Structure 1
Amino acid sequence: MFAIDHRSTREASRIVSRSFALTFAAFAVTTVSYTAFPTPAVAQAYRFTNVEVEGAGRVSTGTILSYAGITRGQAVSAGELNDAYQKVLGSGLFETVEFIPRGNTLVIKVTEFPVVSRISIEGNRKVSDDALMPLLATKVRRVYSPAEVEADAAGITEAYAVKGQLVATVTPKIIRRPDNRVDVVFEVTEGKGVEIERLSFVGNRNFSDSRLRRVLQTKQAGALRFIIGRDTYAEDRIQFDRQVLTDFYTSRGYVDFQVLNVAAEFSRERNAYFLTFDVREGQKYSFGNISVSSEIAEATSDDFLQVNKIRSGQTYSPLAVDNTVERMERLATKKGIDFLRVEPRVTRNDRAQTLDIEFVLVRGPRVFVERIDIEGNATTLDRVIRQKFKTVEGDPFNPRQIREAAERIRALGFFSNADVNARQGSSEEQMIVDVNVTEKPTGSFTFGGNYSVSDGANLIASFSEKNFLGRGQTLSFNLTTDVDNGSLSFNFVEPAFLGRDVAFGLSAGLGTSQPSYAEHEQRRAFVSPRLTFPVSANGSLTVNYRGELRELVDASEGAITLPATIQTDIAAGRETVHSLGYSYSFDTRRSGLNPNAGFLFKFGQDYAGLLGGDVEYVKTSAELTGEMKVLNEEVTLRATVEGGVIDADGNSSVADRYFNSPSIIRGFEPGGIGPRDDASGLALGGNYYAVARLEANFPLGLPEEYGLSGGLFYDYGSVWGLDDVSGIIAGSDDPNWRSVIGASIFWTTPLGPLRFNFTHALDKETYDEEQTFDLTISTSF
């Protein structure tokens, strides 16, 4: 008997198992080695004595063989044959390519890309075909290219992104047609635009967020988001707003202002942006010492200092500096000093927060304008653009004048983009000015409605073209009608009459109207040419002629006895009126040195009867309006003094006299104050009117995107004076001054500005017709 050692048995089992594993591993390694590294094979080689091409139509056989690079009798390896195949396919001329060896013959079978017979864009509602089609590289009657179509789809997507439609997708599709033709269709899925939910600012201490939002072109999304197109995120608009914000601050003395960053963050739902402008305002500077020095012998400093309008202590404004430079350079031209340049040199006084400006008169380089090249204007004539240059070929080159011309070209409103650049010409002394413009639509047709509390509703149809036949002329027609009245008017303006800085205008019209305060109709037909020309930087003078044929008709149908003075005018029948007149206007509200204040002055007279006709009178009117923004420009204060006088030698007509309207005194019906007939109560109008209006407009604290603001006003004035005082209540000699207080709500909408007036008369007469509420709506659809 013997004993079994279990430990020896287990050890023996492990030895056997280990030996088996090693044997299997050696077998596996040997097998893999033979599989991974087979015996090298000899590469197959071809030698073709003939090459045939099948399926080619537009592309010649020689062209295909040149791409393949295979010649008859040449030994070609399989790799080289594949390279030839890739070259033919990569030419972009064929939809499919096959290389088929048939003995000693190589057959190249191709299918050419079809020709594009039609291109359409479907599903685009927010961006028109006219805006998208010019972006496409794919063209009708050209060979279809998948790469071009994909690039076009990306271009359309980018166009939507520019307008804030970041989720828009474009899918290109083709529709096969006979004769190897295709229709290319770009299917657009617009989706919802990514709105700007909140527009805020960081670092602004002197101006509130609400004031700065009114400066920017980008707007917050609000109640009218389905109409407003500027509440979507667009990168190019943000860049424009950075510059606008900088201009806003620098024009108010903040010379160190910077937009540090514009942060755009997606909302959690990724359907809105939160836009934040991070700004650094810096300190506000004023003008310090203003001086002129000259480095040119014939230019006297004192002469040029006299044209300076800047005064020490005024808030610094780059516009004021530019205007002074322009005046000095204009003076140099008058004195015959060529190539004079004015260099404003600034010295900062940080402690006093002032900027000393020294205007240095230096001799500029002798450089002339060789020529002005204009491109991109398919409709607008070259001369319309050239008229905005004060410089012509051969004149001394002045960079400032070129910049000003560029601004005037952009101000025309004919172009979506206008780039004006200068480059060296045929020599170092010659400069070429390049003008590259992109035209945009300048015509419009409007059909809409007009409503007022006093006159009711009217239908309006109008057509206007700001660049008629590409000549820069304005042409418009307007038709207004209701149940009983209607008018048709025509207006034409040539801004550069006979190539001069003179505007020629021609207005004409005819119509029938019955004022709400009258029981008579006025039938008129008129024509009125005019000339307008500048007399100063802010002033202009207009001279005009008006020829009119008019007639007053009793519209009461016997229901009321008309006043004797109106019956006399009706009995006169058809009358002709010939009048000559002039009007002078001086306006600094837009171009003055102070961006927060300005005034408007108007004065005009019309003389009827000098050229004959049935009516004689002298009509004089004047207006003075001042405007100022206070409280960090949040509140606008406005004051107006206005009046008019008609002198008709005791025989004024009801068709010429003044009647009250909301533009004169608010709080009363049209014709609601002034001389009135005792028996019928009808308004007779007055020979005089005078009014003073005070107004304050301010924000209501509501989100700016709603477009709501408020106002308070006070009007004081009257309409009075009548030649025939028999049978009237009052108002012939005594003005009986009226005063009105009121509150307004302004609602700025894309359809037009709306104004709600709530008024209360403090001083009035018993026969006056008060109007405690007034609403004016003007819509287009």
Structure 2
Amino acid sequence: MLLTTLFAAPLHAQFEDSPTVSGLEIRGNQRVDSSTILYYIKTEVGKPLSRPLVGRDIEQIYSLGQFSDIRVETEPMGDGVKVIYIVEEIPSIGDVTFRGNSNIKTEDLRPLIALKRGATFRDHLIQDSITKLTQHYKEKAYFLAKIDIQHKVNEFGLVDVVIQIQEGEKVKIEEIRFHGNKAFDGDDLEDHMETKSETWLSWFDESGIYKKDTLRIDVLRLESFYHDHGYLKVRIEDPTIEINREEKEIYVDIRIQEGEQYRLGGISVEGDETYTREELLKVVESKKGEIYNATKMREDALRVSELYSEKGYAYADALPRTRLDDENKTVDVEIGVTPGRKVYVGKVEVYGNTRTQDNVIRREFRLKEGELFNSKKLKRSKQRINNLGFFENVKIDTHRGDSPELVDLTTTVTERPTGAVTFGAGFSSVEKVVFNASISQNNLFGTGRSLNLSTDLSARRTNFNFNFTDPRVFDSDISFGVDLFNRRSNFFSFDSRSTGGGLRLGKNLSETDWLGIGYRFEKVKVSDVEPANQTVFLRNGTRTTSRIGPTFIRDTRDDFLNPTQGTRHVVRFEFAGSFLGGADFYKTSYEGSYYTPLIGQLVLALHGEVQFAEDYGGEGLPIFEHYFMGGSNSLRGFTIRQVGPKDRNGDPLGGDQSLLINVELQYPITREFRIFGFYDRGNVYGTGFDVSTTSRTMDPFDMRQSVGGGVRFLSPFGPISLAYGIKLDAVPGDSNAEFHFSAGNAF
């Protein structure tokens, strides 16, 4: 816009006489309303025409950003002149069309550019859009992509834009080349980077894609890796990229100056009267003389601050300060602690529980309002709430309360379905077609109580069960339960039908210990025992059992559904008969589980169980009280027909003793889904016609064994497990392997 061309000659002449403005007119505008333009014009009808004022009008109209040219003319009108503002609008953008993009969707590209329908068209937007689209394609590894943008004015005065894209092929990283590395080879270094060179699996995991921002972060990862191995003065230059356009390959060069390796010299902790120096050093795992590890030292400092937070210092800060001895290549570390002030628990608030009652969550809190803050109790609170099994996610946040001495706790939960009506069918090599159905609610009316009605139907069993449990009677530490059942089972060597019920009472003794006692009465009818197979313990007839017994559980697992560390010990004893009536016998067992993380998320799980039963009335242990083994929750790869003593027909008799060992390697794909491999070893011991695969008394060297794998996942209907076990000691008549399906928790 040139101001020298804005005024016509007649306007110059009339300005000398300062004619009166008789009218105003806007010409040339199509999109911008005349009233909008007139709003910015200060020249007024009835007042003398002013050159400076008209100039300012032109500047105001031009500042709208909608016009490429503005001219002003005048023409006689009455006793004065009409001032005419002639504008030339910048065209708007019409259709914006993408062509040639088959690998990246148009809806992903359109938001990247400012060329949008209805926006004002400007020439610089063309190059800006080319730059942004080209950069986006590079981030997706299309380094050879070409972008061309054409535009033309259509019959409506709008600018139609056509974006033509030649995507080309993805250019992947052929090799990441390290220079100057002596302590670690390239493969070790690349393992600690997110950026990877192309492999034969790149089509699946998209490895080999170059991303500039990711590579920058990888440099920091490499520096951290070196710092964790004592190379505190390492220098890593910005990576350089070499693109071979003919071969469609990228080479990444990373130059490293490792420097010298340092070891940990002296280590000290500077605290206060809260803890002695010796108490603080107990939680420090770094030891003098070992290779300095920056991450480990930060974890040590965190453990020190956690120790203070257990004494109410919620905002304690522990900072490691290092001093390098270049001559001896050592690092002296002093962890300085700033405790801050003691804080107390303010408000405890719960959000997200749409079904579960507040008290069900609050009673699991180990911290109460007004109590001295303790981070250990806070972690335990989250663990207990999570172990209820009612929530997909549990999050506890801390924030300052109404005063500096208070910290409020905000618990946010995401509820998972706890009730289900299920119908299912399956197939087992032993039971053939299996039907099951259940109505269950593990959080009845949001009270934390559980109710279950279930049935299992197959060629070998017909079970009906009713179970009710209140884990916290009146919000106390006492639990109460009722069980009713009607079961029919075919064990091949005999058929049993039992009807009965029981009562359960229990109490939490501590955070990890629980003691319970239960009573059960049942009436059992044994039939289909062939006369030739009848013994003192195996015979047709109806018997009753009346038993009572305690159970002790110590459970330190971090997560009941998917444990990664901790132990679980269960000791049971049952006494039947005598003054209680019915058959005379007793049973005792011990079960132990151990979990520990190995590498990354890989978890080692060990489980063992030993069981022993004996009669004391001279009538023998009833056959229906024998132990049987084989299946998804005991010895996988086997069925009950293949383990323990057998009768003349080769059918299982069970035994009065059993021994089981399970070893698993578990890897979680998600919190609800994990895969596992296993080695199982177990057997049932007792008397029978055929004891060729077992012995009469417990023998840890006489056990069946198998290996296999499977998956476990948490479905809307509860935990589900699928496993396939292969026998390592198959005998004539055995199958080589078995497939197992089960619902419920594993050991």
> What range is the shorter-chain TM-score in?
0.5 to 0.7
Superimposed CA distance per residue, residues 498-518 of structure 1 (whole angstroms, 9 cap, x where no aligned partner): 944999766566432223565
Greater shift, 334-343 or 217-226, is seen at: 334-343
Partner of 1:319: 295
Instruction: Specify which of 29, 39, 42 is matched with residue 56 of structure 1.
Output: 29
Distance, in Å, in 2 between the alignment partners of 1:213 and 1:56 is 62
User: Which of residues 495, 505, 512 in structure 1 aligns to 2:425?
Assistant: 512
8 Å Cα contact 2:694-2:703 kept in structure 1: no
CA distance in 1, matches of 2:99, 2:634: 49
| Contact 1:201 1:277 (8 Å CA) reproduced | yes
- Displacement, 1:579? 12
Q: Is the 8 A contact 1:265 1:274 kept in 2?
A: yes
Counterpart for residue 720 of structure 1: 683
Is the 2:93–2:115 contact (alpha carbons within 8 Å) kept by the matching residues of 1? no
Distance in structure 1 (CA, Å) of the matches to 2:452 and 2:588: 14
Instruction: Confirm or deny: 8 A CA contact 1:137 1:152 kept in the other structure.
Output: yes
Which is further off, 304-313 or 182-191?
A: 182-191
Task: Say whether 1:222 aligns with 2:194.
Answer: no
Is the Cα contact below 8 Å between 2:176 and 2:251 reproduced in 1? Answer: yes
2:248 is equivalent to residue 271 of structure 1: yes
Kept in 2, the 8 Å contact 1:67–1:91? The answer is no
Most deviating of 349-358 and 194-203: 349-358
Deviations 1:152-192 (A, max 9, x none): 56434433333333334555678999988888776654332
Q: Tell me the distance in 1 between the aligned counterparts of 2:695 and 2:155.
A: 87
Among candidates 289, 301, 308, match of residue 266 of structure 2: 289
- Give the counterpart letter for 2:280 in structure 1: F
Q: Is the 8 A contact 2:680 2:706 kept in 1?
A: no
Residue-by-residue CA offset, 1:538-592 (whole Å, 9 max, x unaligned): xxxxx99794624140189xxxxx99516867866999999998853369xxxxx
- Contact 2:493/2:651, CA 8 A, preserved across alignment: no
RMSD value over aligned CA atoms? Answer: 6.8
- Whole-angstrom CA distance in 1 between matches of 2:412 and 2:290: 32
CA distance in 2, matches of 1:758, 1:620: 22
Structure 1 counterpart of 2:436, which letter?
A: R
Structure 1 Cα separation of the partners of residues 686 and 437 of structure 2: 24
Alignment check: 8 A CA contact 1:170 1:189 kept: yes
Cα distance, 1:292–1:61 mapped onto 2, change above 3 Å: same
- 2:226 and 2:61 mapped to 1: Cα distance? 61
Partner of 1:603: 568
- Aligned match of 1:554: 459
Q: Which amino acid aligns with 1:719?
A: G
Unaligned runs of 5+ in 1: 1-42, 368-400, 402-407, 409-472, 475-489, 531-542, 557-561, 588-598, 610-615, 630-635, 696-712, 744-756, 773-781
Question: Does the CA-based 8 Å contact 1:173-1:184 persist in structure 2?
Answer: yes
Cα distance in 2, alignment partners of residues 58 and 681 from structure 1 = 95
Structure 1 residues 444-483: aligned runs within 5 Å:
none
- For 1:569 and 1:606, the matched residues in 2 are separated by 30
CA positional deviation for 1:231? 1.6
Letter in 1 for 2:27: E
Q: Is the 8 A contact 1:678 1:729 kept in 2?
A: no
Distance 1:495 1:364, change over 3 A: closer
In 2, Cα distance between the equivalents of 1:526 and 1:544?
14
For 1:495, which of 378, 391, 394 is the aligned residue? 394
The question of whether the paired residues in 1 share the 8 Å contact of 2:460 and 2:491 is answered with no
Measure, in 1, the Cα distance between the counterparts of 2:156 and 2:170. 41
Residues matched between the structures, number: 559
1:108 equivalent in structure 2: 86
Contact (CA 8 Å) 1:261, 1:279: kept in 2 or not? no
Contact kept in structure 2, 1:716 and 1:740, CA below 8 Å: yes
3-state secondary structure, aligned to 1:205: coil
Tell me the distance in 1 between the aligned counterparts of 2:186 and 2:325: 30
Shift of 1:111: 4.5
**1:380-421: CA deviations, max 9, x gaps?**
xxxxxxxxxxxxxxxxxxxxx9xxxxxx9xxxxxxxxxxxxx
Q: Deviations 1:429-461 (Å, cap 9, x if unpaired)?
A: xxxxxxxxxxxxxxxxxxxxxxxxxxxxxxxxx
Q: Taking structure 2 as the reference length, what is the TM-score of the superposition?
A: 0.54
Give the direction of change, closer, same or farther, for the CA distance of 1:739–1:304 in structure 2 (3 Å limit). same
Q: Relative to structure 2, which stretch is displaced further, 172-181 or 350-359? A: 172-181
Q: Which amino acid aligns with 2:393?
A: E
Mean CA deviation greater in 502-511 or 318-327: 502-511
Structure 1 residue 158 and structure 2 residue 135: aligned? yes
Q: Deviations over 1:577-625 (max 9, x none)?
A: 99998853369xxxxxxxxxxx95543659999xxxxxx9988341355
Structure 2 SS opposite 1:269: coil
2:593 aligned with 1:622, yes or no? yes
Secondary structure at the residue paired with 1:347? Answer: strand
Residue type of the alignment partner of 1:513: G
CA deviation after TM superposition for structure 1 residue 282, in Å: 3.6
Structure 2 unaligned residues grouped into runs of 5+: 1-6, 15-20, 77-82, 344-374, 380-385, 397-408, 462-487, 507-552, 575-586, 615-620, 667-676, 710-723, 739-747
Q: Is the 8 A contact 1:512 1:522 kept in 2?
A: yes
C-alpha contact 2:628 2:684 (8 A) present in aligned 1: no
Q: Is the 8 A contact 2:557 2:566 kept in 1?
A: yes
- Percent identity between the two aligned chains: 20
1:689 counterpart = 2:660? yes
The 5 Å alignment of 1:382-781 reads 493-496=392-395, 499-500=410-411, 510=422, 511-516=424-429, 519=432, 521=434, 523=436, 525=438, 527=440, 529=442, 547=452, 549-554=454-459, 564-565=490-491, 583-585=555-557, 600-603=565-568, 620-623=591-594, 627=598, 641-644=606-609, 659=630, 674-675=643-644, 688-691=659-662, 718-721=681-684, 730-731=693-694, 734=699, 736-737=702-703, 765-766=731-732, 768-770=734-736
Residue 62 to residue 546, structure 1, CA distance change in 2 (3 Å):
closer
For 2:652 and 2:62, how far apart are their aligned partners in 1? Answer: 89
Q: Retained in 1: the 8 A contact 2:321–2:333?
A: yes
Q: Give the letter for the 1:304 counterpart.
A: L
The answer on whether the counterparts of 2:28 and 2:88 sit within 8 Å (CA) in structure 1 is yes
Equivalent-residue separation in structure 2 for 1:664 and 1:625 (angstroms): 22
Could you tell me which residue of structure 1 aligns to residue 188 of structure 2?
211
2:298 maps to amino acid = D
Tell me which amino acid in the other structure corresponds to 1:721.
Answer: V
- The CA deviation string for residues 302-348 of structure 1, in whole angstroms up to 9 with x for no partner, is 44334433333444333332233233333434545687543322233
What secondary structure does 1:245 align onto? helix
The DSSP-based 3-state class of the residue aligned with 1:495 is strand
The letter for the 2-side match of 1:92 is G
Question: Separation in 2 of the partners of 1:659 and 1:178?
Answer: 82
TM-aligned CA deviation for residue 138 of structure 1: 6.1
Return closer, same or farther for 1:233/1:544 CA change in 2, 3 Å cut-off: farther
Identify if the C-alpha distance between structure 1 residues 201 and 129 changes in structure 2 by more than 3 Å, giving closer, same or farther: same
Q: 1:272 Cα shift?
A: 1.7
Counterparts in 2 of 1:689 and 1:332: CA distance versus 1, 3 Å: closer
Q: Secondary structure at the match of 1:326?
A: helix
Paired letter, 1:551: D
Counterpart selection for 1:344 from 313, 320, 323: 320
Supply the AA of the counterpart residue of 1:718.
Answer: R
Alpha-carbon deviation of 1:274? 0.6
Q: CA deviation at 1:199?
A: 1.9
Match of 1:559 in 2: none
CA contact (8 A) 2:595 2:603 kept: no
What is the CA distance between 1:728 and its match in structure 2? 7.3
Deviation at 1:203, TM superposition (A): 2.7
Q: Within 5 Å, give how 1:223-242 maps onto structure 2.
A: 223-242=200-219
2:65 equivalent to 1:92: yes
Residue type of the alignment partner of 1:553: S
In structure 2, the CA distance between the partners of 1:120 and 1:638, relative to structure 1 (3 Å rule), is: same
- Which residue is 2:179 aligned to? 202
Question: What is the one-letter code of the residue matched to 1:309?
Answer: E
Q: 1:297 to 1:758 in 2, by over 3 A?
A: closer
2:268 is aligned with what amino acid? Answer: S
Distance in 1, Cα, partners of 2:158 & 2:44: 33
